[in-house]
Amino acid sequence: MNLSLLFEIMLIGLLGIGSQWVAWRYRMPAIVVMSVTGLIIGPIFGWINPQEDFGDLYNPIISVAVAIILFEGSLNLRFKELSDLGKPVFRISTIGAFIAWILGSLTAHYIAGLSWAVAFVIGGLFIVTGPTVIMPLLRQSKLKPRPAKILKWEGIIVDPIGALLAVFAFEIIAFLTSDNPSGEKLLIFFAASVFAAIFGWACGKGIGYVFERGYIPEFLKSPAVFIVVILCFTIPDEIVHETGLLSVTAMGLTLANMGISSVIEMRHFKENMSILLISAIFIMLTASLQMETLLQIFSPNIIGYVLLMMFAVRPLSIFLSTIGTNLTLNEKLLVGWIAPRGIVALTVSSYFAGILLEAGYEDATLLTTLTFGLVFFTVLAHGFTIGPLAKKLHLSMEGRPGTLIVGSNRFTVEFAKTLMKAETPVIIVDSSWRKLRLAREAGIPFYHGEMLSEQTEYHLDTMPYDYLIAASDDPFYNSLICTTFMPEYGRTNVFKLSPYDQMNINSTGEIVPKVAGRVLFKEEVTMTGLNDMLRRGFVFRHTAITEQFRFKHYVKEKDNDTIFLYLIKPSGQIKYFTEDLKVAPEVGDIIVSITPPTKEQAKIQAKIEQTKNGKK
């Protein structure tokens, strides 16, 4: 099919984001959907072949995209996260990587039938996992913080190490097989690696310095960082291939740990860019494969190699390297299983396939097949099993979507009780120990700290909570909370109580209601009003919607002062009633409301009368 290059770019972007949406909608691993989509439009139906169609631009596009993705991932690596995980992360990234290299090389030689030279190159390359495959899996699986942090740190740190190990192995092979062996190339390689790390650190420090001094305006900060990332990757990579990955990782780590607010603010933008690039690159790489490569994957030696890498090499490297650490057996089992390979393995292996073939190693023709076989099978296996395995090992936060409430007062405590009654995770956060007294006495889970503080980010586990409600006494603070956490929770999952004060409606009416967060319940329902209702004896009610008692009947019978708070679906999902997000209760739903005491008293009286009549 002859498509214009412009149409092909549009198609790749559309299918990439479409695959992400399908994966989100049907709770499937995104990398699996993207890989299958690429295979369908590429080798299976032959609609596009990006490698041929893009020509000389193909490799630079992939390389720059990988650099940006790796930088974005390393921008999330802050050393404070390693307060109790430094030792296992260091062991896995060094000793574990070395063990995986040796065992993987032996497996490639004896099982896949590769020569020693090619086996050691591919063995070094296959220790990588990387943010392109790990981040989508972590986003999907909702792991507990410890195993999630280990997999994230390993994926980002080992990514450049694996590429450099492959280069190192090739340089050693070239040195040993040369007619006139010289250590010059090896020295250049080591010098280039050190230069790449220092250059990345300098780029990070430099961009941080100009940000802190205000030498770059806000609207230019994101473009400036992207250009510096490309600069940071390109210069070392031009000296020695793949050292650019080390450089951008060093740059990201440096910036992440400088504590610059501007960098933290642009992180969500970079995450969005990373998702777009990952989607496009997976489609491009899989669509560029040949049908012969796909068929060759199912040969016995390739399948045997892949199985040993998954079930022997990876678990052994993790268990041996983490001896003496504080990792539990379940954590070792999970980390020892999850190691999907991704973009870096595919791109770097194609580079080495050409280099090794030129050097006379004919078995290097198997590299692309072997790489894609490992990538595809690990993506499938780990993508579909990480969730169930994490649940089985009790390392998953999967469960009913919880609610995080900012602000402790009488209403939020009583409101949290209704959520606990519905077996829904809930926590109240407040910086005032005095205000938290109500939560403590009621047995509500709480966190004492400032929600906007950096320390809270490290000490408060927000994974179980899909919704955030800002319900402090200060409407301006509530809006600030919503604005800050909207990118993390999503626009439809961040709420605030109405800022309108019935006694002074004009004071905040023009500003606060327009800033972030959906207004819960109704605009006229304020914090003052809700606390006043509780003082007047209003009660919380759980009302089931049935075939006999549908929502329209409930609306007809309810008291005019009744306020609908939220409904609980049979699946456990919560839907909050808001002014601008209409909720349509269905049969099987439970509506939680706050009602006048007269309604409850009438209900109790009716039960008493019914009991008396029954006795008569």
Specify whether 349 is located in the same domain as 456.
Answer: no
Could you give the CA distance from residue 521 to residue 565 in angstroms, rounded to a whole number? Answer: 6
% the chain with pLDDT above 70: 85
309-336: average pLDDT: 90
Mean pLDDT of 575-601: 74
- Taking residue 135's Cβ as centre, other Cβ atoms within 10 Å add up to 25
Give the integer Cα–Cα distance in Å for 252 and 245.
Answer: 11
**If residue 198 lies in a helix (H) or strand (E), which one and from where to where?**
helix 184-212
Are 416 and 406 in contact by the 8 Å Cβ rule? The answer is: no
The answer to whether residue 29 scores a pLDDT higher than 80 is: no
Q: Which residues of 296-317 are buried (b: 16+ CB within 10 A; e: fewer)?
A: bbeeeebeebbebbbeebbbeb
**397 domain residue, yes or no:** no
Chain centroid, CA 61 distance in Å? 24
Nearest residue to 96 via CA among 265, 332, 255: 332
pLDDT at 502 over 60: no
What stretch of H or E contains 15?
helix 5-25
Asked if residue 485 is part of any domain, the answer here is yes
Other CB atoms within 10 A of residue 95 CB: 15
Same domain for 411 and 354: no
590: nearest Cα among 568, 558, 565, 562: 568
Q: Which residues, 6+ apart, have CB-to-CB distance to 195 below 8 Å?
A: 236, 239, 243
267 neighbors 484 (Cβ within 8 angstroms): no
pLDDT 10s digits, 546-560: 877 777 777 777 777
Token digits of residue 98: 């070395």
Residue type, 456: T
Higher pLDDT, 200 or 181: 200
**What is the 3-state composition of the chain as percent helix, strand, coil, each rounded to the nearest 5?**
65, 10, 25
Is residue 445 classed exposed, middle or buried when 0-12, 13-18 and 19+ CB atoms within 10 A define those classes?
A: middle
277: pLDDT strictly greater than 60? yes
Domain boundary (336, 369, 392) is at 392
3-state secondary structure of 429: strand
**What pLDDT is stored for residue 278 in this prediction?**
79
Note whether 328 and 371 are same-domain residues.
yes
55 domain-assigned:
yes
Distances (CA, A) of 236 to 3, 156, 240, 329: 36, 18, 6, 40
Binning pLDDT at 50, 70 and 90, where does residue 509 land? very low
What secondary structure does DSSP assign to 280-306, as a single string? HHHHHHHHT--HHHHHHTTSHHHHHHH
**Separation of alpha carbons 454 and 433, rounded Å:** 19
Domain region containing 443: 402-615
Share of the chain above pLDDT 90, in %: 6
Is 80 exceeded by the pLDDT of residue 208?
yes
* DSSP for 212-278, written as a single string: HTT-S-HHHHHHHHHHHHHHHHHHHHHHSTTHHHHHHHHHHHHHHTTT-HHHHHTHHHHHHHHHHHH
Both 388 and 409 in a single domain? no
- Give one DSSP letter per residue of 580-610, joined into a string: SS-----TT-EEEEEE-HHHHHHHHHHHHHH
What digits encode the pLDDT tens for the residues 117-140?
888 888 888 887 766 677 777 766
Instruction: Answer yes or no: is 608 within a domain.
Output: yes
Q: How large is the C-alpha radius of gyration of the chain? A: 29
What 3-state class would DSSP assign to 544?
strand
Mean pLDDT of all residues in 359-381: 82
Same domain, 417 and 388: no
Give the number of other Cβ atoms within 10 Å of residue 241's Cβ.
21
Which of 289, 379, 456 lies closest to 33 in space, CA to CA? 379
The dihedrals phi and psi of 453, each to the nearest 5 degrees, come to -75, 145
Residue 201: per-residue pLDDT: 92
Mean predicted confidence (pLDDT) in 297-324: 90
| Cross-strand pairs, 428 | 405, 446
Question: H or E stretch including 171?
Answer: helix 145-177
Measured CA to CA, the distance from residue 184 to residue 381 in angstroms comes to 43
Same domain, 411 and 283: no
Query: Do 35 and 286 form a contact (C-beta atoms < 8 A)?
Result: yes
Q: Is it the case that residue 512 has pLDDT exceeding 50?
A: no
Answer yes or no: do 374 and 417 share one domain.
no
Q: Categorize the per-residue pLDDT at 271 as very low, low, confident or very high, splitting at 50, 70 and 90.
A: low
Last residue of a domain, which of 339, 366, 392? Answer: 392
Q: Are residues 380 and 505 in the same domain?
A: no
CATH code assigned at 469: 3.40.50.720
Spatial separation of the C-alpha atoms in residues 195 and 208, rounded to whole Å:
20
Q: For position 269, what pLDDT does the model report? A: 65
Band the pLDDT of 540: cuts 50, 70, 90.
Answer: confident
Instruction: Looking at the structure, tell me whether residues 505 and 454 fall in a common domain.
Output: yes
Do 599 and 530 sit in the same domain of this protein? Answer: yes
Number of domain units in the chain: 2
For residue 226, being part of any structural domain is answered with: yes
Q: CATH number of the domain that 98 lies in?
A: 1.20.1530.20
**Residues 334 and 424 grouped into a single domain:** no
Does residue 253 lie in a domain region?
yes
**pLDDT confidence of 179, banded at 50, 70, 90?**
low
Q: Does the pLDDT at position 354 exceed 60?
A: yes
DSSP secondary structure, 96-119, as one string: IHHHHHHHHHHHHHHTS---HHHH
DSSP per-residue codes, 137-157: HHHHH-B-HHHHHHHHHHHHH
- What pLDDT sits at residue 530? 79
Task: For residue 526, give every residue at least 6 positions away whose Cβ sits within 8 Å of its Cβ, in sequence order, or none.
Answer: 497, 498, 499, 500, 501, 502
How far is 567 from 592, CA to CA, in rounded Å? 6
Whether residue 416 is contained in a domain is answered as yes
User: 16 CB contacts (<8 Å, ≥6 apart)?
Assistant: 34, 37, 276, 278, 279, 280, 282, 283
Query: And the tokens for 561?
Result: 């002062």
Residue 108 lies in a domain: yes
Which positions ≥6 away from 109 have C-beta within 8 Å?
A: 115, 116, 119
247 and 201 co-located in one domain: yes
Domain boundary (392, 417, 447) is at: 392
